[in-house]
Amino acid sequence: MEVLDKQTINIFLSSDDIYAKYIPVLLESICSKASKNYNYIVTIADANIAENTKSSIANSIKLYSNFKIKYVDINNLIRKYKDLFVTFAHFTVSTYIRFFIPDILRDVNKAIYLDIDLLINSDISELYEINIDDFIVAAAVDACYARELYYNKNNEISYSENVLGLPKGVPEFNAGVLLINLKKWREENITQKCIDKLSEIGTPRVLDQCILNSVIKQSHIYKLPVEWNYVWHAQLEDLKPITESSAFNGVIKEYNEKIHQIKIIHYTSSVKPWNIYGTHKDIHVLSYLAEDWWKTASKTGIFTQLLTSQLNHNRTHNEKANINKVKRIYLFNLRFFKVKKSQNFKSYYLFNIPILKIKTFY
């Protein structure tokens, strides 16, 4: 039965043109699992996204009538704070736009913020339906930061407590998935507090994530279960508790318990599903989770473009596979094509998806 006067769920993304080409994969993962009892508005903070990229994004939701895309130009904001918005490594300036979501969505009181390097494995409306009336944000622990805090190799404890002002032993939340109470955010003047704290710190270790953790009080943070933001390079899998009293043991326990119940995969670090073929020294990821991203990508209009790009990269590195000699072809360390023989048939699979079945006579 069709639901009349559906409630609208607002989802917010922020990207430049480099990351925006991967938005169709994120949207496919959202749309294909989202409840039809809601309408969805996806607002994209636009830092010079190319028109052809926007066309790809528009095409990705054509089959989903309850989804709508809106763009908001953020170049004025970037110019205004260009001296304040420091970036490094794989981070881009668009990450800071999280500070301004309540100003951009002026008539909205609740929204979901999502990073681009995510894959949604569940109905996103389930996240939205969490009651955060008494909180500013709902967010999951950053398991990577928890690990670093525990080992304290780079004085993370001192930084966390003395620079960010977090309570002893409390790891940061990861800001890649946020359910935000925009009304309460405005009441608490969080945007201005973030700008002031950023001016004070200068170059936070994890940029705006550090600022948000510093500014938002612990009592205003709803602790999401880790499966809502499962970071793929935490290096906690099968790790045994080191001490009986450490709060870190709870993070280890939850991370490992939820490894087969992931609702949102977060491809954190400089290693992404689209570049996992490269050499990434000292960066460990759950590489098999990249297969999930590519399976979703295979359902989008940009799949051929992405696949061609990766194959071309492999050719330049002398990694081209020979289909006549192997029955399994590996691309950027992932098996993406295979052939299975059964009685009188050969079946061909792309990312474990059957694409062709041929009768044989031998």
Q: pTM of the predicted model, to two decimals?
A: 0.85
* Closest among 99, 126, 89 to 190, alpha carbons compared: 99
Q: Averaging pLDDT over each range in 148-152, 173-177, 236-240, which range is the top one?
A: 173-177
Confidence of residue 327 (pLDDT cuts 50, 70, 90): very low
* Closest among 306, 301, 277, 288 to 351, alpha carbons compared: 288
Q: Tell me how far apart the alpha carbons of residues 185 and 180 are, in angstroms, rounded to a whole number.
A: 8
Q: Does residue 313 sit in helix, strand or coil? A: helix
* Closest among 84, 48, 41, 340 to 203, alpha carbons compared: 84
pLDDT at 362: 41
User: What is the rounded average pLDDT of the residues 295-307?
Assistant: 84
pLDDT of 35 > 90? The answer is yes
Confidence of residue 118 (pLDDT cuts 50, 70, 90): very high
Alpha helices in the chain (DSSP H): 17-20, 23-31, 51-59, 75-80, 101-104, 124-128, 143-151, 156-158, 182-187, 190-201, 208-215, 248-257, 289-297, 303-316
Tens-digit pLDDT profile for residues 199-223: 999 888 888 899 999 999 999 999 9
Q: Tell me how far apart the alpha carbons of residues 280 and 286 are, in angstroms, rounded to a whole number.
A: 13
pLDDT at 319: 45
Choose between 248 and 356: higher pLDDT: 248
Name the burial class of residue 191, with classes exposed (0-12), middle (13-18) and buried (19+) by CB atoms within 10 angstroms of its CB: middle
User: What is the rounded average pLDDT of the residues 166-183?
Assistant: 94
pLDDT of 11 > 70? The answer is yes
Confidence of residue 263 (pLDDT cuts 50, 70, 90): very high
User: What is the rounded average pLDDT of the residues 271-275?
Assistant: 85
Which 8-state DSSP code applies to residue 141?
B
- Tell me the CA distances in angstroms from 170 to 122, 166, 212, 231, 238, one per residue in order: 28, 6, 14, 18, 22
Average per-residue pLDDT in the chain?
Answer: 84
Q: Tell me how far apart the alpha carbons of residues 339 and 356 are, in angstroms, rounded to a whole number.
A: 10
Paired with 69 in beta bridges are 42
Confidence of residue 148 (pLDDT cuts 50, 70, 90): confident
- Tell me the CA distances in angstroms from 232 to 5, 51, 246, one per residue in order: 38, 31, 22
* Closest among 115, 112, 85 to 101, alpha carbons compared: 112
Q: Tell me how far apart the alpha carbons of residues 322 and 205 are, in angstroms, rounded to a whole number.
A: 44
Contact present, 213 and 164 (Cβ < 8 Å)? yes
User: What is the rounded average pLDDT of the residues 59-74?
Assistant: 96
Q: Does residue 260 sit in helix, strand or coil? A: coil
Tens-digit pLDDT profile for residues 152-161: 888 888 999 9
How long is the chain?
362
